[in-house]
Amino acid sequence: MQQVHWWQGAAIYQIYPRSFLDLDGNGVGDLAGIESRLDYVASLGVDAIWISPFFLSPMADFGYDIADYCAVDPLFGTLADFDRLLAKAHALGLKVMIDQVLSHSSNEHAWFKESRESRDNPKADWYVWADARPDGSPPNNWLSIFGGGAWQWEPRRGQYYLHNFLVSQPDLNFHNPHVQQAALDNVKFWLDRGVDGLRLDAINFCFHDRLLRDNPAKPPEKRTGRGFSPDNPYAFQYHHYNNTQPENLPFLERLRALMDQYPDVGALGEISAEDLLGTMTDYTQPGRLHMGYSFELLTDDGSPGFIRRTVEELQAAMTRGWPCWSVSNHDVPRVVTRWGKGSTNPHLASQYSALACSLRGSICIYQGEELGLPEAEVPFEAIQDPYGKAFWPNFKGRDGCRTPMPWQPGNGAGFSEATPWLPVPDAHRALSVATQQADPDSTLQRFRGFLAWRHRQPALLAGDIRFLDAPDPVLAFERLHPEQRLLAVFNLSDREHTVELPGLENLRADPGHGLLAGRADERQVVLPPRGVYFAVT
């Protein structure tokens, strides 16, 4: 596929607003802080930013519980602040994507406050309500991702309401066409302001099974999944009925029709389903989402075999869609901790970033990934995440990847003049932006160099991918483009490895990526620990 749209092959930098930079001195990051660091973001060589929710919210789930979809929460600033951020980003050549959380709202949203009052008000059917069973128990066995049942009793109506996430995040009833239109109107509000794309949170959760059928049990050996605590009962079920319903597809087509009214905007759908490959394939068919956001590389397995199998399976299924990869985000432990498993090799983070950025598709890069930040240890008394509080100590929640960006090596890390909302660990301050800016061989500078080199490789931006047989722990593949053939080889271990590969005599090494490079002759590649080898026609 040739690169046609800005989002194809784009490097998208995810900004978690609470933790990026605080300029108003309340210990929480804000939109003005993001605007003030856009020059830094642009200097990384990324193509776009994705800003996690900054909308009006009681912050029970830190912005993913929205009380007004068209208002900026005062914690982060104002609509004028957002408009200035958007204008500066565009002036720097950066596209701007924002989160849209369509499947549920906050229980503080005016829609829900009206809906819960009675069974016959104008918003009565805007949320998922159901009568109790004859014994007073919930209408079915559906579970919340955050633990426990997915139904909450509401005495005003004498009914239960559905919440796939927190109790304070009631699910909207997308079977109601008025709800669909309201959601599209909110999306239009931001498209009219000039955003270039949407990251659609939990987009397969918009519809539920009308018959409210029980989910079937899952056998113990299959109770695994991204981000699940080992004692979270959510993993005990196949979630066939509380999400990923067929009615979602016509809604995605309505959403795409709206987006097609704007020049070259992109929709990135966050999809987490029992049949992930099948769902991503369905959701990214022509006329639906532009890209599917894959969770598969956010697991604990970073082995060459798993990465190859994951990418090949997605490629085989998703023949007409465009994937978007990520190895870190605001919901999972950071990749150098998760995949590195204790490795202290200074090239570890650079290699993981290069690997992710070399796969076919677009890439989301989580803030701090360019610095090689490890997962932070947050003591229980400082935990903010409700997920972590509920499942401590078996699962410590998501705060360890959400700690503030370390801009400076000092006590406040240059993040805030006040006490940060989460503590900044010493290990992060030692990896601060200021420290790494001064070191030409730092993880940060290698990241910049690699992205600059990537932009010059048509095969990495828009080429096909073909994996080559290589012994563990080596991962090797080709990217194939009409203008270029590119070979990429990664040694995912802390020991030197030699691997024989066909066709090396027809390629020339390209060391311009600036990473720890291997060497090759006509038949084999010698890779140093955490080394890489790139060669092109």
Active-site residue among 61, 65, 171, 270? 270
Instruction: Quote the tokens at residue 291.
Output: 């890209």
Instruction: Quote the tokens at residue 255.
Output: 């959403």
- Name the CA dihedral angle for 223, 360, 101, 161, rounded to a multiple of 10 degrees: -30
Spell out the residues 6+ positions from residue 528 whose beta carbon is closer than 8 angstroms to its own.
491, 496, 516, 518
Residue 270 annotated to the active site: yes
Instruction: Quote the tokens at residue 131.
Output: 């009568």
Mind giving me the DSSP string for 54-113? -EE---TTTTSS-SEEEEE-TTT--HHHHHHHHHHHHHTT-EEEEEE--SB--TTSHHHH
Residue type, 48: A
Distance CA 369, CA 329 (A): 9
Distance CA 239, CA 274 (A): 7
Instruction: Quote the tokens at residue 410.
Output: 């000092």
Q: Compute the 3-state secondary structure of the chain and give helix, strand, coil in percent, each to the nearest 5.
A: 30, 20, 50
Distance CA 349, CA 370 (A): 8
Whether residue 502 has a cis bond before it, omega within 30° of 0: no
Distance CA 130, CA 327 (A): 39
Distance CA 520, CA 229 (A): 44
Q: For 307, which DSSP code? A: H
Sheet holding 159-162, edge to edge: 129-130, 159-162, 151-154
Q: For 415, which DSSP code? A: T
Q: What is the three-class DSSP state of 448? A: helix
Distance CA 116, CA 123 (A): 8
Asked if 504 contacts 536 with a C-beta cutoff of 8 angstroms, the reply is no
Active-site residue among 201, 296, 369, 385? 201
Residue 201 annotated to the active site: yes
Which position has the token pair 């819960």?
116
Distance CA 486, CA 471 (A): 20
Q: Known catalytic residues?
A: 201, 270
